[in-house]
């Protein structure tokens, strides 16, 4: 077996892996995650009778780099100065499991990311592997999705506007404060693929939220807000524009938002672990919090 960098030509095979495990990713989702990330695949010759047969992909993994906010010197003095990376789309087909491929993929990423703080969202099946790799559970993510049975009321307490070129910098600053790392490349890519709104009160920004086509329908996230009322106002504005199926990956800050969404007809369908190796930078956030992830892979 050998491991190499993922290429765009590998995406159809990687997509088939996520389809096998019933994940809802489509080609557009894989393309976005690939374009922004660093991917690796494991190849193996599965025809033991023919040593010259072409190797086949038997596992995949990606990670996404979010640099430190104030590391102008390039020399880390604290773990916060290292920034962080998220890890995701770690898949080994059922027929190839039990051979240590998942550990090989994780070792590859941990070598590539060096001393960065790492974060991932673990399924029940993958949690033991990540614990063996030194990750610890720090929080819970709630997958809430479905179609609305009741339309939300939009609060007039906040001014909700579409972002433009002048307000994108405000969105990036709010995200910096909430995530405690630089995700500008991710957010700029989401602007190109979806829609973002920003909430203001008395001329002061209070939060932002994205909606984009993804998975079985549309995904609302990231949602970053100063409090739960702002998060609800942002979600309500985007839900009024949603077409059918919609998904949120909610953090523990979003307990009020989760109850409100289920009252509107959405359902919690999964509960997974947010795991960290090193320092969890978002734990340091004060004025703004992440209420919904961009995706379980992106964070």
Asked whether residue 88 falls in the same domain as residue 46, the answer is: yes
Q: How confident is residue 71, by pLDDT bands cut at 50, 70 and 90?
A: low
Please check the confidence at residue 72 and state whether its pLDDT lies above 60: no
288 and 148 together in one domain? yes
pLDDT digit string, tens, across residues 106-164: 999 999 999 999 999 999 889 999 999 999 999 999 999 999 999 998 888 999 999 98
Q: Is the pLDDT of residue 235 over 80?
A: yes
Residues 114 and 171 in one domain: no
Q: Which two tokens stand for residue 263?
A: 């009252």
- Residue 59's SS3 state is strand
Residues 72 and 120: their CA atoms lie apart, in Å, by: 26
One-character DSSP codes across 77-90: SSGGGG-EEEEEEE
**Containing structural domain, residue 56:** 2-140
CATH of the domain at 101: 3.40.630.30
Can you say how many angstroms the Cα of residue 223 is from the centroid of all Cα atoms in its chain? 12
Q: Report the SS3 class of residue 189.
A: helix
Cite the DSSP H helix spans in the chain.
11-20, 27-36, 101-113, 124-132, 168-179, 184-193, 228-239, 255-263
CATH number for position 199? 3.40.630.90
pLDDT at 45 exceeding the cut of 90: no
Same domain, 276 and 176: yes
Q: Specify the range with the lowest mean pLDDT, choosing from 10-24, 39-53, 170-184, 197-211.
A: 39-53
Question: What pLDDT, on a 0 to 100 scale, did the predictor assign at position 297?
Answer: 97
Residue 128: predicted pLDDT:
95
Q: Among 55-59, 215-219, 261-265, whose mean pLDDT is lowest?
A: 55-59
- Is 227 a domain residue? yes
Contact between 281 and 71 (Cβ < 8 Å): no
Return the pLDDT at 79: 67
- Is the pLDDT at 69 greater than 70? The verdict is yes
Kindly report, residue by residue over 161-209, the tens digit of the pLDDT: 999 877 899 999 999 999 999 999 999 999 999 999 999 999 999 999 9
Tell me the pLDDT band of 52, cut-offs 50, 70 and 90: low
């Amino acid at each position: 077996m050998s491991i190499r960098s993922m290429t765009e030509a590998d995406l159809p095979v990687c997509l088939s892996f996520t389809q096998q495990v019933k994940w809802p990713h489509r080609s557009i989702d894989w393309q976005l995650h690939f374009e922004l990330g660093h991917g690796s695949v494991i190849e193996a010759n599965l025809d033991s009778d023919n040593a010259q047969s072409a190797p086949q992909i038997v596992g995949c993994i990606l990670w996404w780099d979010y640099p430190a906010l104030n590391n102008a010197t390039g020399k880390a003095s604290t773990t916060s100065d290292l920034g962080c990376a998220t890890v995701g789309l770690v898949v080994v087909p059922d027929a190839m499991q039990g051979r240590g491929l998942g550990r090989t993929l994780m070792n590859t990423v941990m070598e590539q990311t060096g001393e960065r703080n790492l974060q991932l969202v673990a399924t029940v099946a993958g949690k033991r592997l990540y614990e063996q790799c030194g990750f610890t559970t720090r929080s819970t993510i709630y997958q809430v999705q479905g179609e609305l049975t009741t339309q939300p009321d939009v609060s007039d307490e906040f001014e909700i506007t579409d972002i433009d070129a002048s307000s994108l910098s405000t969105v990036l600053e709010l995200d910096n404060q909430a995530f405690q790392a630089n995700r500008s490349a991710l957010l700029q890519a989401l602007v190109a693929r979806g829609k973002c709104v920003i909430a203001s009160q008395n001329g002061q920004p209070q939060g932002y939220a994205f909606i984009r086509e993804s998975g079985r329908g549309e995904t609302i996230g990231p949602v970053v807000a100063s409090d739960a009322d702002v998060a609800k106002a942002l979600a309500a504005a985007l839900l009024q524009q949603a077409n059918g199926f919609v998904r949120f990956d909610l953090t523990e800050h979003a307990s009020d938002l989760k109850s409100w969404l289920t009252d509107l007809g959405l359902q919690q369908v999964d509960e997974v672990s947010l795991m960290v190796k090193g320092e969890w930078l978002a734990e340091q956030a004060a004025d703004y919090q992440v209420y919904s992830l961009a995706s379980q892979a992106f964070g």
